[in-house]
Amino acid sequence: MIYAYLLEKGLFRQYLISKDNYLLLKKAIWIDLLSPTSEDEKLVESTVSLGIPTRDDMREIEISSRLYRKNNALFMTAPMLINSGSKNPFLDAVSFILTKTQLVTVRYFDLKTFALFISRINRKEISMFNAHATLIGLLETVIDRVADILERVGASIDTHSQVIFRQQTNVKLKINFQELLQEIGSNGDLCSKARESLVSLNRLASYFKQNEKVQLGDDGEFHLLALTADIQSLNDHIGFLSQQVNFLLNATLGMINIHQSNIIKIFSIAAVIFLPPTVVASIYGMNFKFMPELHWHYGYPLAIGIMFLSALIPYQFFKWKKWL
């Protein structure tokens, strides 16, 4: 699909482009390609005279393949978080193609960041008049989105910390350690993906600033400086969250070892407690011909009593030593 955004009477209007209205692409300030087909790419290329990078090109990890200038246009690609609120977040590349008058974005997933940015345009929360300001606004929305994700990760880490360390002694709380480890690991994975995205966005913003300093003006340069500062602060925050994640992982594994040790201790104490009664039962279970207690009227209650006492004495001893 191809969406074109035009400035008409001071307002931005969105158009879904087809073969019937493709000439609107020449007037558009922002052209957004969402999961474009080969026909969509050819239509944009022929109309605005720009080469659209293929998906394989967008997945290249070399800096020279992600940030370059060609035919007086800047080609910038950065990975962004997809499905960050689900159990399977992942990174996918988004390309920004900037000319003096137009911005073209190429993506293959419906990003919440773009939907949020478009809603702000429609509500006129952001005033934009050219392609450069549009790109800056998009980048600012992306950074805001990453900040929201990190806030959610921080809240999740606090919840996990309370579950692990601040259990109330009068409340029997059963912890599913496997599920807890998976959730903590997911937060760590989300942090690493967010850091990878921020590093690429920082390079993109620096490259954008260096190559378009004249076009940006003082206001645009100020916004980019604020953007890079926000990226740096978020990277520092991710470092802190990563340390918290590693700490919670180690703490959870330690708690698992403690629980396993307690279970083994219970079995060990039970084995020691029932060992003396087993010895008594083994003695009276021997097939000797002359065993006086076997013919005694009170022999059976005596054997039961001895077994009971031989189990009770170790139990009381363990309780006295506070091993139970």
pLDDT digit string (tens) for 63-84?
A: 778 888 888 888 999 998 888 8
Number of compact structural domains in the chain: 1
- Are the C-beta atoms of residues 237 and 183 closer than 8 Å to each other? no
Confirm whether 188 is domain-assigned. no
| Residue % of the chain over a pLDDT of 70 | 92
Q: Show the tokens assigned to 177.
A: 């350690």
Confirm whether 265 is domain-assigned. yes
- Which region holds residue 9: left if phi is over 0, alpha if psi is between -120 and 50, else beta? left
pLDDT digit string (tens) for 159-185?
A: 888 888 875 444 455 778 888 888 888
State residue 177's pLDDT score. Answer: 81
State residue 240's pLDDT score. Answer: 92
Q: DSSP 3-state assignment of 91?
A: strand
| DSSP class of 130 | S
Q: What is the largest CA-CA distance in the chain?
A: 116
pLDDT digit string (tens) for 14-57?
A: 888 888 888 888 888 889 999 888 888 888 888 888 888 888 88
What helix, strand, coil percent values describe the chain, rounded to 5? 60, 15, 25
pLDDT at position 87 over 60: yes
State residue 151's pLDDT score. Answer: 92
Confirm whether 110 is domain-assigned. no
Encode the chain in three state secondary structure. Answer: CEEEEEEECCEEEEEECCCCCHHHHHCCCEEEEECCCHHHHHHHHHHHCCCCCCHHHHCCCCHHHHEEEECCEEEEEEEEEECCCCCCCEEEEEEEEECCCCEEEEECCCCHHHHHHHHHHHCCCCCCCCHHHHHHHHHHHHHHHHHHHHHHHHHHHHHHHHHHHCCCCCCCCCCCHHHHHHHHHHHHHHHHHHHHHHHHHHHHHHHHHHHCHHHHHHHHHHHHHHHHHHHHHHHHHHHHHHHHHHHHHHHHHHHHHHHHHHHHHHHHHHHHHHHHHHHHHHHHCCCCCCCHHHCCCCHHHHHHHHHHHHHHHHHHHHHHCCCC
State residue 73's pLDDT score. Answer: 87
Q: How many CB atoms lie within 10 A of CB 214?
A: 6
State residue 213's pLDDT score. Answer: 67
State residue 167's pLDDT score. Answer: 58
The CATH number of residue 309's host domain is 1.20.58.340
State residue 33's pLDDT score. Answer: 92
Q: Supply the range of the domain harboring residue 266.
A: 259-320
pLDDT at position 110 over 60: yes
Confirm whether 198 is domain-assigned. no
Confirm whether 81 is domain-assigned. no
pLDDT digit string (tens) for 254-285?
A: 888 888 887 887 888 788 888 888 888 887 77
pLDDT at position 123 over 70: no
Gap between the Cα atoms of 198 and 193, Å rounded: 9
Confirm whether 303 is domain-assigned. yes
State residue 302's pLDDT score. Answer: 80
Q: Show the tokens assigned to 74.
A: 């800047």
Confirm whether 316 is domain-assigned. yes
Q: Which amino acid is at 136?
A: I
Confirm whether 268 is domain-assigned. yes
Residues with Cβ within 8 Å of 54's Cβ and at least 6 positions away in sequence, in order, are: none
Total-model pTM: 0.77
Angle at the Cα of 116 (from 111 to 118), degrees rounded to 5? 100
The pLDDT of 173-200, averaged and rounded, is 87
Q: How long a stretch of residues is the chain?
A: 324
